[in-house]
Amino acid sequence: MVKLLNFKKFIGAMWAILGRFSIFLGLLLFLITACKKDAKLPDEISKIAIDVQVDRFDTKFASVDSAGLKNLIAEYPYLFPTDYPDDFWVAKIKDTIQLELNTEVAKAFPDLDTLELELENLFKHIKYYYPKFTAPEVVTITSDVSYKMPVILTDSLLLIGLDNYLGSEHPFYNGIQRFYTQNFRKEQIDVNVADAFVLKLIKHKGNHRFLDEMIYHGKRLYMIQELLTLKPKHEIIGYTQDQYNWAEANEVDIWKYFVENQLLFDTDSKLLSRFINPAPFSKFYLDFDNDSPPRLGRYIGWQIVKRYMERNTIPLQMLPEKNTDEIFEKANYKPRN
């Protein structure tokens, strides 16, 4: 009986220790998580004065009637192509599909406070690297789900089609391939805007080698990441967290496959559909293909460019002009487990 009581005391003491340890561990995890959530911009960027006020044309168009339409056209002439007569726009404001778009956009975006903050952070980064940059006027619209061009950026104007960001499962997107709709989320708006800016700087020179395509997209992704320093990496490339984890865990084997199959300098256009272009998954022609994320050529290109920038003192502004061979040679990219 004494031994049994001692054993019970021992068990009780152990549970007490474990309980205190679990509290400590929970507190540690909380602090780590809090640090991640409280990630901040560097002082030299955060101090840059940028104030974004989004002009919600989408709500104005949703509430206008035929009597007020002329004033709206006069205020936003660039949104009303003259190819279409006024009768077309009168009919559109009453159109059933347009009314549904208005309702769903208003539901998904009751305010744009978060978007304004994200765009401010993006524009501050751009201003830091490109001092002559002037933040454009930001106008939100509905675009009849023009998902292949969800944002339009000029020197003075940024148009954002909010109906392209209603959530990946939204019924409006039925019939569109899942690998597209996966990113029809509000978290991708600033990524798309950053990419639109980067595309003005990086020329797609039309080289036909697989490595050229990898580096081209790698430069895009690297620059987007540098302009959106608070953004999770999986959002930068448009992956789910699981897809990003898969790419990261298999990086060595992906690279090994590319090298051993002599794909880097191959000019076969099929490599684009296999590893570069939007698709359900990457195509190694192996059993695990269905489990792989798409666009792994872009992912590897991103890692090569990152290694190049880490090993060489190159200002971000100079990266767009660097050619494939220089980046590849000086990166000395050799992923390790």
* Cα 209 to chain centroid, rounded: 26
- In angstroms, rounded to a whole number, what is the distance separating the alpha carbons of residues 165 and 108? 9
- In angstroms, rounded to a whole number, what is the distance separating the alpha carbons of residues 311 and 285? 34
Q: What is the pLDDT of residue 10?
A: 36
Q: What is the pLDDT of residue 34?
A: 36
* CA–CA distances in Å: residue 225 to residues 129, 295, 306, 316: 13, 17, 10, 11
Q: What is the pLDDT of residue 337?
A: 73
Closest CA to 204 of 216, 196, 195: 216
Q: What is the pLDDT of residue 13?
A: 43
Helix (H, G, I), strand (E, B) or coil at 141: strand
- In angstroms, rounded to a whole number, what is the distance separating the alpha carbons of residues 323 and 222? 15
DSSP annotation of 185: S
Helix (H, G, I), strand (E, B) or coil at 137: strand
* CA–CA distances in Å: residue 30 to residues 15, 20, 35, 230, 241: 22, 15, 9, 19, 20
Q: What is the pLDDT of residue 321?
A: 96
Determine contact, residues 165/184, Cβ cutoff 8 Å. Answer: yes
Q: What is the pLDDT of residue 42?
A: 85
Helix (H, G, I), strand (E, B) or coil at 153: strand
Write down the pTM of the prediction. 0.87
* Cα 26 to chain centroid, rounded: 31
- In angstroms, rounded to a whole number, what is the distance separating the alpha carbons of residues 322 and 311? 14
Q: What is the pLDDT of residue 41?
A: 84
Q: What is the pLDDT of residue 336?
A: 86
- In angstroms, rounded to a whole number, what is the distance separating the alpha carbons of residues 101 and 143? 9
Ranges of residues in the chain whose predicted pLDDT is under 70 = 1-39
Q: What angle do CA 12, 15, 17 make, to 5 degrees?
A: 110
Determine contact, residues 76/61, Cβ cutoff 8 Å. Answer: no
Give me the half-sphere count of Cα atoms (radius 13 Å) on the Cβ side of residue 29: 6
- In angstroms, rounded to a whole number, what is the distance separating the alpha carbons of residues 251 and 335? 7
- In angstroms, rounded to a whole number, what is the distance separating the alpha carbons of residues 185 and 314? 34
DSSP annotation of 133: -
- In angstroms, rounded to a whole number, what is the distance separating the alpha carbons of residues 132 and 126? 9
- In angstroms, rounded to a whole number, what is the distance separating the alpha carbons of residues 265 and 116? 43
Q: What is the pLDDT of residue 39?
A: 65
- In angstroms, rounded to a whole number, what is the distance separating the alpha carbons of residues 249 and 242? 10
Give me the half-sphere count of Cα atoms (radius 13 Å) on the Cβ side of residue 164: 22
Q: What is the pLDDT of residue 139?
A: 98
